[in-house]
Amino acid sequence: MYLKRLEISGFKSFANKTVLDFSSSSEATLGRGITAIVGPNGSGKSNIADAIRFAIGEQSSKNLRGKKSEDVIFAGTEGKSRMGSASVTLHFDNSDQRIPIEFSEVSVTRKIHRSGEGEYFINGNKVRLLDVVDVLAKAGIGKESYCVITQGMSDAVLLASPLERRAIFEDAAGVKPYQIEKERAIRKLESTRENLVRVDALLVEIEPHLRNLKRQAEKSSQGKDIALRLKEKQFLLYGFLWHRFQEERGTLVRDRETAEQVIVDLEERSVRLRGEVAAVSAALEDQKEEDMWQNEVRVFHAELNTLLRTRSVIEGKREIEMERRQEKEVVKTIPVDLAFVKRSVEKIGADQEQLISRIQSVEQLADLQDIREFAQVIKQELFELSEKAGVGSIRETHIIGLNAEEKAASDIRLQSFESELSATQERIAQVETLIREKEQLIASHREANRVQRETFFAKEKESRECERALQQLKDNFNELKVRLARVEVREEDLVTLVREELSMRPEEVVYDGVTEIDRERLEREISRLKVEVEHIGTIDPLIVDEYEETAKRFEFLTHESADLKQALESLRSVVKEMDSKIDQAFETTFKEIKQRFAQYFTLIFGGGKADITQVRIALRRRGEEEEMGDTQTNEEERDGVGIEIFACPPGKKITNLSMLSGGERSLTSLALLFAIISHNPPPFAVLDEVEAALDEANSRRFSTMLQELSDHTQFIAITHNRETMARAGLLYGVTMQRDGISQLLSIRLDQVEKVE
């Protein structure tokens, strides 16, 4: 398993979507090796380490180098506005199934919005933070583990307390899943203990009330049989009465509805007949419409006479104008002399000058066609002049008539006469049509009046007969309403009686319609049973139900209390089992890291001594014990196991870690870090300038050990160190332009050919 790819979007200085591909070009390394991330100070290199820490669930804004959660979202620059969210996705190669998910590639995404709302996704499916922590913890990845190491964190190992160092060793032992399960068991233990306290309190409260209900239930059961027989008799009698009332009422209601519908139909018919009689009477009396049509016919005849006279006048004017337009032909003989030739030549010369001018000003190809035609005209004129020369004389025919201006005016007048004549003729046709229509309306109206008089007398007779039938039906309807009201009063009395004595609705009292009922005998038996019930006392039918319900609740709470006590024991067993597994894994890890720490210390310093030891530290804690269902709190002593570190470089005598120099502290912490990593290699480790305090010689030692460990762990080193860069197979450069946005450049050094 290894970190295959990292995607960052909107996180700190990485405003644009940025992808870091850590896949190795060599199949032999299976994604492991060293990737170096370099760049000037302030370019955003460490933001990559923060992004990885953010994605694996880091909740502390301080550890992400911020004050509040929204500080990790790109805040904007002069050239780019701020973003509303930030997201980081880690893509893992899971071919070895180290993450217990049936996928060869697993992606873990965390997204945070400026509102503070956060989201987590595994392979695109939305999950909880707890799910992400569980999945990564099983693969040895966590925000408390050494997957992301900064220079301050490496020094913090030496400055930490013995108990804090133990937590580091426990992470190295791979007991994180056990710790998570233990913490969950402890939380469930506390919750179960609180539930048990509440359940026991309820049992104490319910028990005396249950005893009281039991006494009342036994007393009320004495009258239960009598009350049951009384209820059966009442049920039978009241059901019979209700059934009879319903039948009688149903018959009356159906008769009333039938009469009511007939009355409604007759009333509608009567109203309709009265309206029809009134409408026919009004139509017979109203002759205004016929008079109006008569007047319109007279007006149209007058208009028609006027239009006929107008048409005759226009036709006369048109004939006069046509006579004025007649033309005459005049034939003249013209001598072909020098003057005639001179005039013809001058005209041809003028046409030639016009032709030359048009040729000089031509701009489009279409104009050439017109020029060609004009040249043909000039050629024809020359030919005609050549034919006429020497003839002596020619004959020319002239038309004597109106000139062009007079002819145009005449055309306008003729057109006007034609328009007026056409409009007049059209209006004549319209008026003649209107006269015919009005005359037809008058004839139809006179015929309708005759039919309406016959209809009036028939409708008036039918209306009088309908009124008489309607009055008879209303009398019968009122009698039905009186009978129905009497039945409804008896029915309401029965409803009140059923509700008071049976606490039921009358619809629920059912009679089979077959059983013979002696009403008087039943009423006597009911009266007798009521007297017996009064002697026993008032019976509350809810007492027994309440007793049974309370007894069931008491029994349920008793079982619940037993289950909770059993759950407490089970959870305590789980906690003890997890403690045992954690202690066992811790002892094994401690021994191996102790040996490896001494080896790496000697290798880094070229000698010296280093050791780690376990120390007992007295702690005080509050414990809780349950005895007989009571909770007791006591103070007890407990010893904690911590880790002490001893380191003495060669040639020195140092008894305390505080006596080491800055470089010596860094080398010591790196030796311990390498010991932890070599014992339980994590899938990947991010080193953020952890070798910054080392000199050149120590840097070479550091890079050599880093390369050895890279056979089992993928290292992503954020560094300025040349030795570390030289050992890297993949190199990413981080730059930041004036826009304040980090950008990446990459090169695979394992693909660069060496030139000898």
Contact between 417 and 317 under an 8 Å Cβ cutoff? The reply is yes
Say how far apart CA 166 and CA 376 lie, in whole Å: 119
Both ends of the chain: CA-CA distance in Å? 36
Contact between 608 and 650 under an 8 Å Cβ cutoff? The reply is yes
Token pair in block for residue 264: 């409604």
The pLDDT-based confidence of 107 (bands split at 50, 70, 90) is: very high
pLDDT score, position 142: 73
Helices (H), 361-403: 365-388
Say how far apart CA 128 and CA 716 lie, in whole Å: 27
Say how far apart CA 380 and CA 347 lie, in whole Å: 13
pLDDT over 90 percentage in the chain: 8
Contact between 725 and 694 under an 8 Å Cβ cutoff? The reply is no
pLDDT score, position 537: 62
Tens-digit pLDDT profile for residues 315-364 = 777 777 776 666 544 455 666 667 777 777 888 788 777 777 777 776 66
pLDDT score, position 120: 94
Tell which phi-psi region holds residue 95, choosing left (phi > 0), alpha (psi between -120 and 50) or beta: alpha
> With b meaning 16 or more CB within 10 Å and e meaning fewer, what string describes 247-281?
ebbeebeeebeebeeebeebeeebeebeebbeebe
- Decide if pLDDT at 195 tops 60: yes
- Decide if pLDDT at 755 tops 80: no
Token pair in block for residue 116: 């503070």
Say how far apart CA 29 and CA 253 lie, in whole Å: 96
**How do strand 630-648 and strand 609-627 relate by DSSP bridges?**
antiparallel
pLDDT score, position 636: 36
Of 498-507, 712-721, 724-733, the range with the lowest mean pLDDT is: 498-507
Number of CB atoms found within 10 A of residue 57's CB: 19
Tens-digit pLDDT profile for residues 603-615 = 878 788 888 888 8
Angle among Cα 213, 219, 225 to the nearest 5 degrees reads 120
Contact between 88 and 52 under an 8 Å Cβ cutoff? The reply is yes
Helices (H), 625-695: 662-679
Contact between 666 and 155 under an 8 Å Cβ cutoff? The reply is yes
- Decide if pLDDT at 753 tops 60: no
> With b meaning 16 or more CB within 10 Å and e meaning fewer, what string describes 672-711?
bbbbbbbbbbbbbbbbbbbbebbeeebbbbbbebbbebbe
Residue-averaged pLDDT of the chain: 77
The pLDDT-based confidence of 41 (bands split at 50, 70, 90) is: confident
Say how far apart CA 594 and CA 670 lie, in whole Å: 14
Burial class of residue 167 in the structure, from the number of CB atoms within 10 Å of its CB (0-12 exposed, 13-18 middle, 19+ buried) = middle
Query: Could you tell me which residues come within 8 angstroms of residue 328 by beta carbon, excluding any fewer than 6 positions away?
Result: 399, 400, 401
* Interval 423-436 mean pLDDT: 84
pLDDT score, position 283: 63
- Decide if pLDDT at 128 tops 60: yes
Say how far apart CA 580 and CA 573 lie, in whole Å: 10
Contact between 698 and 158 under an 8 Å Cβ cutoff? The reply is no
Between 568 and 282, the higher pLDDT residue: 568
Say how far apart CA 683 and CA 146 lie, in whole Å: 11
- Give me the residue label for tokens 């009320």: 220
Between 18 and 697, the higher pLDDT residue: 18
Q: What is the dihedral of CA 235, 237, 242, 245, to 10 degrees?
A: 180
Q: DSSP secondary-structure letter at 659? A: G
Cα–Cα separations (whole angstroms), residue 115 to 14, 74, 81, 124:
19, 14, 17, 22
pLDDT score, position 90: 93
Tens-digit pLDDT profile for residues 240-273 = 777 777 777 788 788 878 887 888 888 887 788 7
